[in-house]
Amino acid sequence: MSAADRIIKAVEGLARPITEEMGLELLEVQFRQESGHWILRLFIDREQGGINVDICASVSRQLSACLEVEDIISHAYMLEISSPGAERPLKRPEDFVRFVGRRVKIKLNEPISGEYAFFGILTAADIDNKQITLALDNAEQMTIDLEAMAKARLCLE
Protein backbone atom coordinates (compact mmCIF):
# COMPACT_ATOMS: atom_id res chain seq x y z
CA MET A 1 0.00 0.00 0.00
CA SER A 2 1.40 3.39 -1.00
CA ALA A 3 1.77 6.32 1.41
CA ALA A 4 -1.12 8.10 -0.37
CA ASP A 5 -3.34 5.02 0.03
CA ARG A 6 -2.53 4.87 3.76
CA ILE A 7 -3.44 8.55 4.12
CA ILE A 8 -6.71 8.01 2.23
CA LYS A 9 -7.62 5.09 4.50
CA ALA A 10 -6.80 7.10 7.65
CA VAL A 11 -8.77 10.14 6.43
CA GLU A 12 -11.75 7.91 5.60
CA GLY A 13 -11.63 6.64 9.18
CA LEU A 14 -11.75 10.20 10.52
CA ALA A 15 -14.26 11.57 8.01
CA ARG A 16 -16.86 8.80 8.04
CA PRO A 17 -18.10 9.43 11.62
CA ILE A 18 -18.25 13.18 10.93
CA THR A 19 -20.28 12.75 7.74
CA GLU A 20 -22.55 10.07 9.19
CA GLU A 21 -23.33 12.23 12.22
CA MET A 22 -24.39 14.98 9.83
CA GLY A 23 -26.61 12.61 7.83
CA LEU A 24 -24.20 12.64 4.89
CA GLU A 25 -22.65 9.96 2.75
CA LEU A 26 -18.87 9.91 2.24
CA LEU A 27 -18.51 8.86 -1.39
CA GLU A 28 -14.80 9.12 -2.03
CA VAL A 29 -11.52 10.41 -0.63
CA GLN A 30 -8.71 11.39 -3.00
CA PHE A 31 -5.18 12.45 -2.12
CA ARG A 32 -3.07 13.43 -5.10
CA GLN A 33 -0.72 15.96 -6.53
CA GLU A 34 -2.21 18.47 -8.95
CA SER A 35 -0.16 21.29 -10.48
CA GLY A 36 2.62 20.65 -7.98
CA HIS A 37 0.35 20.87 -4.91
CA TRP A 38 -1.12 18.10 -2.76
CA ILE A 39 -4.93 18.04 -2.67
CA LEU A 40 -7.01 16.12 -0.14
CA ARG A 41 -10.46 15.96 -1.72
CA LEU A 42 -13.60 14.45 -0.23
CA PHE A 43 -16.85 13.92 -2.11
CA ILE A 44 -19.98 13.92 0.03
CA ASP A 45 -23.68 13.62 -0.72
CA ARG A 46 -27.04 13.05 0.95
CA GLU A 47 -30.22 11.44 -0.27
CA GLN A 48 -32.51 14.42 0.22
CA GLY A 49 -31.66 18.05 -0.44
CA GLY A 50 -28.21 17.72 -1.97
CA ILE A 51 -25.06 19.45 -0.78
CA ASN A 52 -24.46 23.18 -0.42
CA VAL A 53 -21.51 25.41 0.49
CA ASP A 54 -22.51 25.60 4.17
CA ILE A 55 -22.49 21.81 4.49
CA CYS A 56 -19.09 21.58 2.78
CA ALA A 57 -17.70 24.29 5.08
CA SER A 58 -19.01 22.51 8.17
CA VAL A 59 -17.43 19.19 7.16
CA SER A 60 -14.20 21.03 6.32
CA ARG A 61 -14.03 22.71 9.75
CA GLN A 62 -14.69 19.50 11.66
CA LEU A 63 -12.33 17.38 9.57
CA SER A 64 -9.57 20.02 9.65
CA ALA A 65 -9.64 19.96 13.44
CA CYS A 66 -9.34 16.16 13.47
CA LEU A 67 -6.54 16.18 10.89
CA GLU A 68 -4.61 18.74 12.92
CA VAL A 69 -4.84 16.63 16.08
CA GLU A 70 -4.05 13.32 14.34
CA ASP A 71 -1.23 14.81 12.19
CA ILE A 72 -1.74 12.20 9.45
CA ILE A 73 -0.23 14.31 6.65
CA SER A 74 3.26 15.62 7.32
CA HIS A 75 3.48 18.09 4.40
CA ALA A 76 1.42 20.96 3.04
CA TYR A 77 -1.88 20.15 1.32
CA MET A 78 -5.20 21.77 0.45
CA LEU A 79 -8.46 20.31 1.78
CA GLU A 80 -11.45 20.35 -0.57
CA ILE A 81 -14.94 19.14 0.32
CA SER A 82 -17.25 18.80 -2.66
CA SER A 83 -20.49 17.41 -3.99
CA PRO A 84 -20.10 14.72 -6.65
CA GLY A 85 -22.24 16.84 -8.98
CA ALA A 86 -25.22 15.98 -11.15
CA GLU A 87 -23.23 13.33 -13.02
CA ARG A 88 -22.02 11.59 -9.88
CA PRO A 89 -20.11 8.33 -10.10
CA LEU A 90 -21.84 5.10 -9.12
CA LYS A 91 -19.39 2.93 -7.21
CA ARG A 92 -21.21 0.74 -4.71
CA PRO A 93 -24.01 -1.71 -5.49
CA GLU A 94 -26.30 0.42 -3.29
CA ASP A 95 -25.69 3.39 -5.61
CA PHE A 96 -27.24 1.47 -8.50
CA VAL A 97 -30.28 0.55 -6.42
CA ARG A 98 -30.72 4.17 -5.32
CA PHE A 99 -30.64 5.51 -8.89
CA VAL A 100 -32.89 2.99 -10.68
CA GLY A 101 -34.93 4.97 -13.19
CA ARG A 102 -32.12 7.44 -13.94
CA ARG A 103 -30.02 7.78 -17.09
CA VAL A 104 -26.49 6.39 -16.75
CA LYS A 105 -23.29 5.93 -18.71
CA ILE A 106 -21.45 2.66 -18.21
CA LYS A 107 -17.86 2.06 -19.34
CA LEU A 108 -16.71 -1.55 -19.48
CA ASN A 109 -13.36 -3.24 -18.90
CA GLU A 110 -13.89 -5.44 -21.98
CA PRO A 111 -16.04 -4.65 -25.03
CA ILE A 112 -19.45 -6.16 -25.65
CA SER A 113 -20.23 -6.37 -29.39
CA GLY A 114 -17.20 -4.13 -29.96
CA GLU A 115 -18.47 -1.36 -27.65
CA TYR A 116 -16.93 -0.20 -24.36
CA ALA A 117 -19.52 2.43 -23.40
CA PHE A 118 -23.30 2.26 -23.08
CA PHE A 119 -25.93 4.90 -22.28
CA GLY A 120 -29.38 4.08 -21.05
CA ILE A 121 -31.96 4.10 -18.28
CA LEU A 122 -31.01 1.99 -15.29
CA THR A 123 -34.10 -0.23 -15.01
CA ALA A 124 -32.95 -2.75 -12.37
CA ALA A 125 -30.14 -3.37 -9.90
CA ASP A 126 -29.75 -6.89 -8.51
CA ILE A 127 -27.28 -6.66 -5.63
CA ASP A 128 -27.41 -10.39 -4.85
CA ASN A 129 -26.38 -11.36 -8.39
CA LYS A 130 -24.19 -8.26 -8.83
CA GLN A 131 -25.90 -7.19 -12.05
CA ILE A 132 -27.72 -4.19 -13.45
CA THR A 133 -30.14 -3.90 -16.35
CA LEU A 134 -30.15 -0.99 -18.79
CA ALA A 135 -32.80 0.07 -21.27
CA LEU A 136 -30.55 1.27 -24.09
CA ASP A 137 -31.41 4.15 -26.38
CA ASN A 138 -32.25 1.68 -29.16
CA ALA A 139 -34.90 0.10 -26.85
CA GLU A 140 -32.84 -3.05 -26.21
CA GLN A 141 -32.44 -4.36 -22.67
CA MET A 142 -28.92 -5.20 -21.52
CA THR A 143 -27.77 -6.93 -18.34
CA ILE A 144 -24.24 -6.10 -17.15
CA ASP A 145 -22.21 -7.63 -14.33
CA LEU A 146 -20.92 -5.03 -11.85
CA GLU A 147 -17.44 -6.60 -12.08
CA ALA A 148 -17.40 -5.94 -15.84
CA MET A 149 -17.69 -2.17 -15.31
CA ALA A 150 -14.67 0.12 -15.34
CA LYS A 151 -16.81 3.18 -14.50
CA ALA A 152 -20.42 4.14 -14.09
CA ARG A 153 -22.02 7.53 -13.57
CA LEU A 154 -25.32 9.34 -13.73
CA CYS A 155 -25.76 11.09 -17.03
CA LEU A 156 -27.63 14.24 -18.04
CA GLU A 157 -27.24 13.67 -21.80
- Together in a domain, 22 and 64: yes
The alpha carbon torsion through 57, 58, 60, 65 (nearest 10 deg) reads 140
Structural domain boundaries, residue 33: 3-82
- Residue 119: CATH number of its domain: 2.30.30.100
Share of the chain above pLDDT 70, in %: 99
Return d(Cα 83, Cα 50) in angstroms, integer: 8
**pTM, entire model:** 0.77
pLDDT at residue 18 tops 70: yes
Calpha distance 109→38 (Å, rounded): 29
End residue of a domain, out of 82, 107, 135: 82
> What is the count of structural domains for the chain?
2
Phi then psi dihedrals of residue 127, to 5 deg? -65, -40
Q: Are residues 66 and 131 in the same domain?
A: no
CATH number at residue 65: 3.30.300.70
